Amino acid sequence: MKFFIDTANLAEIQEAHNLGILDGVTTNPSLMAKEGIKGQENINAHYQAICHIVDDNVSAEVIATDFEGMVKEGEALAALSPKIVVKVPVTQEGIKAIRYFSDKGIRTNCTLIFSAGQALLAAKAGATYVSPFIGRLDDVSQDGTELIAQIVAIFSNYQFSTQVLAASVRHTMHLIQCAEIGAHVATCPLKVITGLLNHPLTNNGLQKFLADYAKSQA
């Protein structure tokens, strides 16, 4: 299972990278805005700074909503670094753009997926990744992890090479459930990744070991 971090914050990306478990980064226009990055030149420079930290898989999202605009923006983003994965929304124009990028060997992450049908079309168009947003489905009383299971089963039925990237992962149970289901990738904030380490018996056990060691040195 690949772990991506869902942020544009360079310090958090560096911290996750330092853990030695990071496989990539996902960003979106909201996450870039949260970091105060303004203007396309600064946005591009920020993508390059992210690419400088991580080994591969930096999702950079197009803003255009028409095919020609998506192609122009996506090609410019892909030219920034071979680590860039062009993120495209799952619309009719987006599906055409994904087919175009796929034929050109440019990797894509099809975003804003909320149904199995959307994921199926993106896979047919040759998407590298599809991103179902599980937290946002939970927000509207629909089980997001059920959608992950459905898409994993469909892709497995037909041996699609498209990978299921569970996005909008909000807590550690989401992450564990995605791993049980067989999602190829999960993207989440750093606190969800480090949250996997939390267990009171680990903390208490370590304190006891350290206290006993200290006694043996007295």
* Binding residues for ligand G3P (CB under 6 A): 6, 26, 28, 133, 135-136, 167-168, 170, 187
Q: Please say which residue, 89 or 100, places its beta carbon nearer to ligand G3P.
A: 89
Q: Active-site residue 87, yes or no?
A: yes
Give the Cα separation of 20 and 13 in Å (integer): 11
Q: How many Å is the Cα radius of gyration of the chain?
A: 19
**Residues 6 or more apart from 209 whose CB is under 8 A from it?**
none
Query: In a 3-state reduction of DSSP, which class is residue 60?
Result: strand
Work out the end-to-end distance of the chain between its first and last CA atoms, rounded to an integer number of angstroms.
Answer: 46
Q: Please say which residue, 100 or 112, places its beta carbon nearer to ligand G3P.
A: 112
Q: Please say which residue, 78 or 188, places its beta carbon nearer to ligand G3P.
A: 188
Give the Cα separation of 110 and 182 in Å (integer): 19
Active-site residue identified among 38, 72, 87, 104: 87
Q: How far is the CB of 159 from ligand G3P (least distance, A)?
A: 26
Length of the chain in residues, anyone? Answer: 218
Q: Please say which residue, 83 or 174, places its beta carbon nearer to ligand G3P.
A: 174
Q: Do residues 97 and 74 make contact, with C-beta atoms less than 8 angstroms apart?
A: yes
| Residue 140: closest CA among 178, 114, 109 | 114
**Residues identified as active-site:** 87
